[in-house]
A and B are shown apart, each in its own frame.
Chain A
């Protein structure tokens, strides 16, 4: 197995990581960098729990090889909050009661952030569409959708 040294900006900080060719971005985040907020729900790009921002776009990090990320900018759930305050989507999902078991929450928050970055005032249909790749089994999505609406107003 070949190994590669890659440079990658993660949550605003530059990291240099040595990764094998077959390592996914999700594995690198969770195993090499202990950024375990990114969750592994299916390892098949189907549940959205491992969603991160890759150069501003939401991707299933289990479907991206780490070596492909050389020179890119990654944001994980750990990077959403500033030093002193939460991202509005984080604050809104707390206030709306959109968190239950919390396992899908990091991926939902990243997808919501990506939506609001490209469309600051989405219609409900657009919110539903943006979250369709993030499976949640607890909440029934109602309060998650409410929270994205609330965050858009901030």
Chain B
């Protein structure tokens, strides 16, 4: 029987519903981890950190610190021998024998106040033997570089990561597709470039925070600002050698994540410290200064690109080498370097590709996931080379992209086929909206105006079997409570979760609540809130849970009415029959069931629907060639363009207009999708123009908002446009794919290409500060 048409007319999917969390967030009622009240039993922790980028710990003397009144305990690495890490277990909670970056935790103090804990830090004496540091990834990859992890060969590692024991290379991902060497002679034009992408910070406005409490039985509760409550439960418990069932993680709203609150970082320190003061909650709140260099950073990258095309502009070959500055520990970063490898062609069909993506240990801050997961970094150089190649062959850059970009069925760099994609439409829409090919005059005689475009692709980078689950239950009033384990980090996932649950069950969006905060004891499992995977993966779990509840409801009603479920539907919270035209509100049956006629008992009972989703089709890739049947679940694709002005007197860049178009399969909530595109564009713009962690000899020189500038309200373009293309994903809910990260992937190269269009200079890497642009113009003889 055909699906009743009426269901669509009441579906909130595709509508720009108001955010479910907006009201509590604007009234100050929304609770974040630091807002939870623990009363007088709360203790405060601070961390003693290494001042050296690379050294051996010879001795730690904490006697004086322990004698300070108010100090309750001091913790060092000697008490915690277990390794921890997401893809590669290469890290201890606290350093045991060696420190590997400035900021590496050496000891933890817990005291009755933050002031006393801070004072005690100064009384801990640590004796170091200083070692030569590795401060550059290319050098670090060489055999003569000092070895930072002599035990690399002993670390537990995911099956798809390839460490090289005896070196500082913690992952080497290779693509060997076609015959690159044979292809170069067939190329009419070849470009070669080196680009450097600096480390940057995520800069959530809410700093990292964790509060841990361990009871007498050893059961651990952790409250924190977390994108990964379930992964934290599992990884911290594993490292402690306890059952994950003894660990409970409670995660309220996250005040910005962008990847830095994924996996495990400082949370393990709070847990370790709390184990020494059983029964007392222990709070560890990073200072803004600590946030800049002890939380995960975005890895630095040194990238070499070589690419060539034939006389018609068709791409024939690429040879790309990436040296990732993974930092002191690469437990998470190794998978960024893998993702960069299997995406190394960019969104283009290229028959011959050779890629080497190296994750290299250095004595820099720890690299981790950041919005885009390697894609902004590699696209920054790649998309500039594409522009250069088009110029070299005498083709318009947009035409060149349209010719070479991935289409449905194109062969990917890993050998598999591209799924349905609307990338070509994204290019056309973006070119049209930016007015491609039309040159407007600059706003002043001392300014030059330019336009630039860049494309992108990105897949969720995750283990092949990352799973989601959900439940739905109805209350006495027919309202729907939806249990999820995915976290609201600002992206709006609770809102789209509510929309999808409402649509799949047949109730109003306004009658849905999300069971929050996420609590691993009550919430259904979710791998992590990362990879722009929730709308798709968790969405599928929610739809399955709602369908399960729907079937239970319709079966009961069909039995009661002596009809078949196929003739029934749930519309706006009411079960209706298309056959008998009977109806009954959900609230009349979802808790107490329905009475049988003649007082002959009851049928049904409380309704609870369950659903889960896990991709089952992702295959491995050959370790030598990077070829395989299906590397990832899907790719979101898109394009951005900018129009900007360069001030010839100062080198200052002003972004006048930005355009974003992404193929997200289906917009469950179009305004939320546009909001992601706007926020991502501005974060990408900020990384292009302003942001860089200035590391000198391993020491961060700019750990504050004054010295590390991010975009403010005065920096954004007056005209920022966002467009949605919808070519459905075959296994997405209503065809949806993710958008959260993608919106900042092409921004750096779009701006770089526009700078070139305006003044004809290219820089080795961002940030494109006024000073650097001016000096480049001076070098090129554009200004005198």
Interface residues of A (CB under 8 A from B): 30, 34-44, 46-47, 49, 76-78, 80-81, 86, 90, 93-95, 97, 99-106, 109, 124, 127-129, 131-145
Q: Can you list the 5 inter-chain pairs with the closest CB atoms, starting with the nearest?
A: A37-B28, A101-B490, A103-B255, A140-B682, A102-B25
Count of B interface residues, CB-CB < 8 Å:
55
Task: Render B697-733 as a binary contact track against A, CB cut-off 8 A, 1 for contact.
Answer: 0000000111000111110101010000000000000
> Closest Cβ of chain B: how far from A41's Cβ, in Å?
5
Q: Does B21 touch A at the CB level, under 8 Å?
A: yes
Q: Is the CB of A105 within 8 A of B25?
A: yes
Q: Compute how far the CA of A46 lies from the CA of B707 in the bound complex, rounded to whole angstroms.
A: 11
Partner of A78, one of B18, B27, B37: B27
Q: Does B34 touch A at the CB level, under 8 Å?
A: yes
Partner of B205, one of A30, A39, A43, A132: A39
Q: Is the interface of A mostly helix, strand, loop or mixed?
A: loop
Q: Compute how far the CA of A64 lies from the CA of B108 in the bound complex, rounded to whole angstroms.
A: 30
Q: Compute how far the CA of A40 lies from the CA of B32 in the bound complex, rounded to whole angstroms.
A: 11
Q: Is the CB of A137 within 8 A of B22?
A: no
> Which residue of the partner chain B has the closest CB to A106?
B28
Find chain A residues with CB under 8 A from B675 CB.
97, 100, 139, 143
Interface hits, B251-272 → A, CB 8 Å: 253-258
> Which residue of the partner chain A has the closest CB to B712?
A132
| Residue from B19, B206, B716 having most chain A Cβ neighbours under 10 A | B206
Q: Compute how far the CA of A67 lies from the CA of B682 in the bound complex, rounded to whole angstroms.
A: 39
Q: Is the CB of A47 within 8 A of B22?
A: no
Q: Is the CB of A140 within 8 A of B681?
A: yes
Q: Does B463 touch A at the CB level, under 8 Å?
A: no
Q: Is the CB of A104 within 8 A of B205?
A: yes
Q: Compute how far the CA of A133 lies from the CA of B706 in the bound complex, rounded to whole angstroms.
A: 11
Q: Does B672 touch A at the CB level, under 8 Å?
A: yes
Q: Does B330 touch A at the CB level, under 8 Å?
A: no
Find chain B residues with CB under 8 A from A104 CB.
205
Interface hits, B2-40 → A, CB 8 Å: 16, 18-19, 21-23, 25-32, 34-35, 37
Partner of B206, one of A39, A46, A76, A143: A39
Q: Is the interface of B mostly helix, strand, loop or mixed?
A: loop
Partner of A129, one of B21, B23, B29, B714: B714
> Which residue of the partner chain A has the closest CB to B287?
A43
Q: Is the CB of B671 within 8 A of A97?
A: yes
| Residue from B255, B288, B672, B704 having most chain A Cβ neighbours under 10 A | B255
> Which residue of the partner chain A has the closest CB to B684?
A140
Known: A39-B255, A128-B714, A144-B713. 13 other contacts (CB 8 A): A44-B288, A77-B27, A81-B27, A86-B27, A93-B26, A97-B672, A100-B492, A128-B713, A135-B205, A137-B202, A139-B679, A140-B682, A140-B716
Q: Compute how far the CA of A127 lies from the CA of B718 in the bound complex, rounded to whole angstroms.
A: 13
> Closest Cβ of chain B: how far from A44's Cβ, in Å?
6
- Known interface pairs A101-B205, A102-B490, A103-B206; A46-B713 also in contact (CB < 8 Å): no
> Closest Cβ of chain A: how far from B783's Cβ, in Å?
29
Q: Compute how far the CA of A138 lies from the CA of B720 in the bound complex, rounded to whole angstroms.
A: 15
Partner of B713, one of A34, A41, A145: A145
- Known interface pairs A86-B26, A137-B683; A44-B704 also in contact (CB < 8 Å): yes
Interface hits, B658-685 → A, CB 8 Å: 671-672, 675, 678-683
Interface residues of B (CB under 8 A from A): 16, 18-19, 21-23, 25-32, 34-35, 37, 202-207, 253-258, 287-288, 489-492, 671-672, 675, 678-683, 704-706, 710-714, 716, 718, 720
Give 17 pairs: A residue, B residue, CB < 8 Å, sorted on A.
A36-B34, A37-B27, A42-B207, A46-B288, A77-B27, A81-B27, A94-B26, A99-B21, A101-B253, A101-B254, A101-B257, A103-B32, A103-B204, A105-B25, A131-B712, A139-B679, A140-B716
> Which residue of the partner chain A has the closest CB to B679?
A140
Q: Is the CB of B28 within 8 A of A101?
A: no
> Which residue of the partner chain B has the closest CB to A145?
B713
> Closest Cβ of chain A: how far from B510's Cβ, in Å?
14
Partner of B679, one of A40, A47, A100: A100
- Known interface pairs A103-B204, A135-B710, A140-B720; A40-B34 also in contact (CB < 8 Å): yes
- Known interface pairs A97-B19, A101-B205, A128-B714; A138-B28 also in contact (CB < 8 Å): no
Q: Is the CB of B19 within 8 A of A94?
A: yes
Q: Compute how far the CA of A85 lies from the CA of B783 in the bound complex, rounded to whole angstroms.
A: 58
Partner of A41, one of B206, B671, B712: B206
Q: Is the CB of B705 within 8 A of A138?
A: no
Q: Compute how far the CA of A2 lies from the CA of B681 in the bound complex, rounded to whole angstroms.
A: 50
